[in-house]
Amino acid sequence: MVKEDGLIEGRPASEALDMMIIPGGSLVESQTLSGKLAKEITKMADSGKFVLGICSGFQILSKKTDIGRLSATPIMRQGLGLIDAEFLPLICTDLVKATIVAPSNLTDAVGVEVKGFHCHTYGNVVVGKGTKPILLSHAKRLNYHSDPRDLVAGVANTEGNVVGIIVHALLDQNPIIIDGIIGSLGIKSQELAEIKAVNAKLTGRIRTEVGVSTGIHAVAKSPKTGTAKALLITALGSGSGKTFIVTGLASALKKKGLAVDVVKIGGDIRDLVPALYMIKEPIKGYSSIKIGESGWKQPFDAIRKASREYGFIIIEGAMSAFTGLFMNHAEGPTSTAEVAAALGVPTVVVGECDNEGIEGALASSLNYVSLLRKLGVNVAGVILNKVRVSYLTSEIRQFIQSVYSNAGVELLGIVPRVNLEGRGAIPEIEIKYEEFGAKALEVAETSLELDRIVRAATPAYVKELDYAALVEKFKVLLTEDFGVDVSKDANHKGCLKMKD
């Protein structure tokens, strides 16, 4: 409702509202909070009105955030200083339970346990003297490792009207929190009914739009019929651009009217946020597929639950398709390849051409396709990403097409190299969601074979899979397909002779 000018239908937010909720995003990291909006937030806080910041919204209310996780030195971003707290790097993407430890405008139900999830790169909250912790979350995995710890997950100023929390879905999943807000605002039953009716209309209008304030609206949503179709996107390695491709694909399909959702393999749900930002869907309890000790739900359980609500599911892989296969100490699956084989869903390989060129990506992707198929993965196609298209003649394009065709796999897109300002192309740091999402949608519509991608998708199905046997088969394939014989004849001592 409140945009960067700080106005609601021409009125200052500080005058029009009784409460403001500042949601998650990247306003602090990307430094896109406008001065006018900041002024209205400060006015509301100073006048005693309820200001609630969630995730990035909390960072805005705090003193500062060190966003230098990938830097040798701190990189500080200043907040509004309405809450005496600072943020330091600490990755947490857990489903969590949290305990309310002090009263505030959020709730006075001290001692009650609530639930939600973390989706943070900067989750270490350091509390100052002028602030009281109100919520402690009980996290199990931090910085990608098992590290059970209680974290400060919510604080309030002394008066209790300015509150920051880092637990997502707290309002969605815990009626006691809504009851607390209703009580602190003095909302009567008739007013609550009116609020819900207005919000239902607002939500309906918002969710038809692709992105935020883009003016791009989806065509009428296709009715959901039968079992949802699914497609898995994997890659040659981390940094290949899976998240960019998934964001663009989800946006384009939403625009076409499909009821689309995205699910992540592994626990790093931060990668889903750009796509969800564009298609206006929330992270849910099934949004993360468990591999090894990372993630939330078993593969088919996650897809089955998503299929109840959506007609098309895009599954984003973790790192490369094979990363984690040798984690024998963990119960399977431990890799994207195993999830793909277990679900039986069509899989698309993204080949990154920025580092090894289109020639290297072509060779690498063909090897990937071959290995994945021998492991029982249904490979539907390849997308070449970050391509320097200036030297791609029609003859070369036709040759590339024929190479994949001869291998029995479809070329589903040649995506040009895209320049995004600063570090804004990396989902977990300083991403500018508007810019990232808009460019991803544009590229998907101009460079991906959308109709062929949709046709390639099929429903997932339960498939009994011996994960230990799959790992052993992978080892055998590496040995047999790429092995060498050492031949020691009189004339060529120690020469290497390739196997047929």
If asked whether residues 132 and 241 sit together in one domain, one would say no
Residue 239 pLDDT class (50, 70, 90 cuts): confident
Residue 77: Cβ-neighbour burial (10 angstroms; 0-12, 13-18, 19+): buried
The total domain count for the chain is 2
Return the DSSP state at 449.
Answer: -
If asked whether residues 11 and 152 sit together in one domain, one would say yes
The answer as to whether 51 is a domain residue is: yes
pLDDT at 330: 65
CA–CA separation, 468 and 332 (whole Å): 8
Task: Check whether 495 has a pLDDT greater than 50.
Answer: no
Mean pLDDT, the chain, rounded, equals 89
Task: Check whether 180 has a pLDDT greater than 80.
Answer: yes
The answer as to whether 347 is a domain residue is: yes
Determine contact, residues 137/151, Cβ cutoff 8 Å: yes
The answer as to whether 240 is a domain residue is: yes
Per-residue model confidence as pLDDT tens digits over 297-342: 999 999 999 999 999 999 999 999 999 999 876 678 999 999 999 9
Task: Check whether 49 has a pLDDT greater than 60.
Answer: yes
Residue 484: Cβ-neighbour burial (10 angstroms; 0-12, 13-18, 19+): exposed
Determine contact, residues 479/371, Cβ cutoff 8 Å: no
Per-residue model confidence as pLDDT tens digits over 439-482: 999 999 999 999 999 999 999 987 788 999 999 999 999 998 77
pLDDT at 496: 40
Residue 187 pLDDT class (50, 70, 90 cuts): very high
- Dihedral Cα 424, 429, 433, 436, nearest 10 deg: 40
pTM, entire model: 0.91
If asked whether residues 310 and 452 sit together in one domain, one would say yes
pLDDT at 134: 98
pLDDT at 106: 96
Residue finishing a domain among 145, 175, 207 = 207
How would you classify residue 238: left for phi > 0, otherwise alpha for psi between -120 and 50, otherwise beta?
A: beta
As given in the structure block, the two tokens for residue 365 are 């992707």
Return the DSSP state at 474.
Answer: H
Task: Check whether 438 has a pLDDT greater than 80.
Answer: yes
CA–CA separation, 368 and 98 (whole Å): 43
If asked whether residues 185 and 290 sit together in one domain, one would say no
The answer as to whether 490 is a domain residue is: no
If asked whether residues 142 and 26 sit together in one domain, one would say yes
If asked whether residues 238 and 201 sit together in one domain, one would say no
Task: Check whether 263 has a pLDDT greater than 80.
Answer: yes
If asked whether residues 71 and 142 sit together in one domain, one would say yes
Per-residue model confidence as pLDDT tens digits over 349-399: 999 998 889 999 999 999 999 999 999 999 999 999 999 988 889 999 999
The answer as to whether 144 is a domain residue is: yes
Residue finishing a domain among 156, 173, 207 = 207
Residue 424 pLDDT class (50, 70, 90 cuts): very low
pLDDT at 9: 87
Average confidence (pLDDT) over 413-435: 70
If asked whether residues 177 and 66 sit together in one domain, one would say yes
If asked whether residues 297 and 358 sit together in one domain, one would say yes
Contacts 24+ apart (CB under 8 A), 402-409: 403/362, 403/366, 404/366, 407/366, 407/369, 407/370, 409/369, 409/379, 409/380, 409/381, 409/382
pLDDT at 336: 96
Residue 30 pLDDT class (50, 70, 90 cuts): low
Task: Check whether 12 has a pLDDT greater than 50.
Answer: yes
Higher pLDDT, 112 or 219: 112
pLDDT at 226: 63
The answer as to whether 265 is a domain residue is: yes
If asked whether residues 99 and 190 sit together in one domain, one would say yes
If asked whether residues 99 and 139 sit together in one domain, one would say yes
Which CA distances in Å does 498 have to 153, 371, 473, 484, 485? 58, 19, 21, 5, 6
As given in the structure block, the two tokens for residue 220 are 């009428």
The answer as to whether 2 is a domain residue is: no
The answer as to whether 425 is a domain residue is: yes
pLDDT at 222: 62
Per-residue model confidence as pLDDT tens digits over 157-178: 999 999 999 999 999 999 999 9
Residue finishing a domain among 207, 241, 256 = 207
**Enclosing domain of residue 337:** 229-465
- CATH classification at residue 82: 3.40.50.880
If asked whether residues 244 and 166 sit together in one domain, one would say no
Pick from 135, 149, 139: which is nearest to 58 by CA?
A: 135
Task: Check whether 89 has a pLDDT greater than 80.
Answer: yes
Residue 76 pLDDT class (50, 70, 90 cuts): confident
- CATH classification at residue 247: 3.40.50.300
